[in-house]
Structure 1
Amino acid sequence: MHYIMIYKVTFLISALLALTGTEAKIYGQCELATALRNQGVPENQVATWVCIAHAESNFDTTAVNTNTWDYGIFQISSIYWCQSGDQPGNGCGISCNSLLSDDITEDITCSRHIYEETEREGKVPGFLAWTTYLPNCSGDNSGWIAGC
């Protein structure tokens, strides 16, 4: 029975993506590093963001966690930061579906907002908002952008 539910949810998400014309894009490490830099991410954070994107979505722009309803390359939470569906809302004022496109501008902007809000709450570094940070990305991440 559980497998049937997973199949239905996966089918529904696939159908929604097909309707919105979203195609999967898997970023390369250097390609993501360039996008982050182009969006003004501080150089001392770029490698960690690349590591987080790998740990969260394996660099897949259309990743959706159907257990937690996290969306996009950085797996942004629909509970706090984006509004499920196509209507903008929650902490970043965006729709979760907008995080599933090849254009990751909103993903980066929202992730930076989450980072800043997390630090305002006294949790430093702001990467602590991502559960994958401590076990995967809290050390030296320079290897993620070596040669980029």
Structure 2
Amino acid sequence: MTLKVLSVFIIFSILLIVCDCKTYLPCEFASALKKEGITNRKQLGTWTCIAKYESNFNTKAINSKSGDYGILQINSKYWCSTSSTAGKGCNIRCSSLLGDSIRPDVTCAKKIYAETKRISGDGFTAWVVYKKYCLGDQTKWISKCKL
């Protein structure tokens, strides 16, 4: 019986180490964005809306159909590499978008935003949920946040 308990403990410990994920609350996410240099309230609201509808604020979200990774669902076709080496537009591995820290996600999202803005005039259109759920003033997402 002791061996069984020890085995369960070891497996549970390994799972805790492997599961480096977090589900943010909206204000917590907006605060983390602000720490990463996004200070404009309208943009904070829009990014928060996008994270809600793309991943439900889950840093470990993966869409196997589209190849999107992380809290902002960054696409592996263009922006991150699914191989063991960094690559593509953001020069990162997709797995780096799945940890507690949103820094890699935000750094890559800023590149995507800038490139899309250069091409189309609105950087947020790179995210599918933007037009359906997040177009316009989204400051309601952060109205009660202490930022």
- TM-score with structure 2 setting the length: 0.84
> What letter matches 2:57 in structure 1?
F
Q: Give the number of the structure with larger relative contact order, counting CA–CA contacts within 8 Å between residues 6 or more apart.
A: 2
> What letter matches 2:117 in structure 1?
E
Partner of 1:31: 28
Q: Which blocks of at least 5 consecutive residues in structure 1 are unaligned?
A: 1-17
Q: Which blocks of at least 5 consecutive residues in structure 2 are unaligned?
A: 1-14
SS at match of 1:94: coil
Is the contact between residue 22 and residue 102 of structure 1 (CA under 8 Å) also seen in structure 2?
A: no
Note closer, same or farther for the CA distance 1:140–1:91 as it changes in structure 2 (3 Å cut).
same
1-structure distance, mates of 2:67, 2:139: 30
Q: Check if 1:135 corresponds to 2:132.
A: yes
- TM-score with structure 1 setting the length: 0.83
Q: Check if 1:89 corresponds to 2:87.
A: yes
Moved over 3 A (4+): none
Partner of 1:144: 141
SS at match of 1:101: coil
Residue by residue over 1:51-88, the C-alpha shift from the partner in whole angstroms, topping out at 9 and shown as x without a partner, is 00001000000000010110000000000000004321
Shift of 1:36: 0.6
Partner of 1:119: 117
Shift of 1:23: 2.7
2-structure distance, mates of 1:41, 1:86: 30
> What letter matches 1:87 in structure 2?
T
Is the contact between residue 86 and residue 98 of structure 1 (CA under 8 Å) also seen in structure 2?
A: no
Tell me how many residue pairs correspond in the alignment: 130
> What letter matches 1:70 in structure 2?
D
SS at match of 1:132: helix
2:99 counterpart (98, 101, 106): 101
> What letter matches 1:126 in structure 2?
G
2-structure distance, mates of 1:105, 1:65: 20
SS at match of 2:128: coil
